Amino acid sequence: MARGRSPGYDDQREMILARAAELFAHRGYPATSMNQVAEACGFSKALLYHYYRDKYSLLVSIAESHVSRLVDLVADVEALGLAPDPRLRELIRRFVREYAGAQHAHRVLTEDVKFLEGEDRERVIAFERTVVAGFARVVQLLRPDLEGEALAKPLTMLLFGMINWMFIWMRPEGRLDYDSMAPMVADLFLGGLPAVTPPVSSTPIPSETSA
């Protein structure tokens, strides 16, 4: 008979992912070893392998679990049935708050997704595209006149450019926290969106974007 899992098994797996994400974010995925992950968790290497078979499985789990939570956030906000302006503000608020508590995982997602292989990489990128599409739909509702200009996704990526990298320059002990930054980001984006004019160019605007 197969041995059952201990009551704290899932909690231990989450703790391991958090420690591994921190190491990957600070050292980089290639430079981090399973020995270092085990040490950060206070485990033996043998015990670590009881939870994850190798370093690559850690990377997949970190990236996929983080981006899956982002997909769920988009779905949760859409289910509220808000008008476009408050809907985008709520999306921004929830994403900024999520990033505040998952800075290491988010850095792994943005910087180490290139190390994922084949179907794993495609699956994570598909999740990212779902997130981008959720934001782009709201941008399109706010500027329906841009429908034929393929600008909703590039504008969405400009928005992500503001919120994706806050963890690089924001200081935990600073005057501003993430909750106070979220409405400022929304004000900047929504205040500037009405002024956007389609570029006069014969070059097609790329549609392949990711969060």
pLDDT tens-digit readout, 136-177: 999 999 999 887 668 899 999 999 998 888 777 777 676 777
Q: Is residue 86 part of a domain?
A: yes
Q: Is residue 22 part of a domain?
A: no
Structural domain boundaries, residue 83: 56-194
CA distance 129 to 134: 9
Across 23-34, average pLDDT:
95
Across 175-200, average pLDDT:
89
CA distance 42 to 16: 10
Write the CATH number for 69: 1.10.357.10
Q: Is residue 5 part of a domain?
A: no
Q: Is residue 26 part of a domain?
A: no
Q: Cα angle vertex 77, ends 176, 65, to 5°?
A: 80
Residue with tokens 């605007």: 205
For residue 198, pLDDT over 70 is answered with yes
Total number of domains in the chain? 1
Going by the DSSP 8-state scheme, the letter that residue 205 receives in this structure is P
pTM comes to: 0.85
CA distance 141 to 82: 12
For residue 205, pLDDT over 70 is answered with no
Q: Is residue 204 part of a domain?
A: no
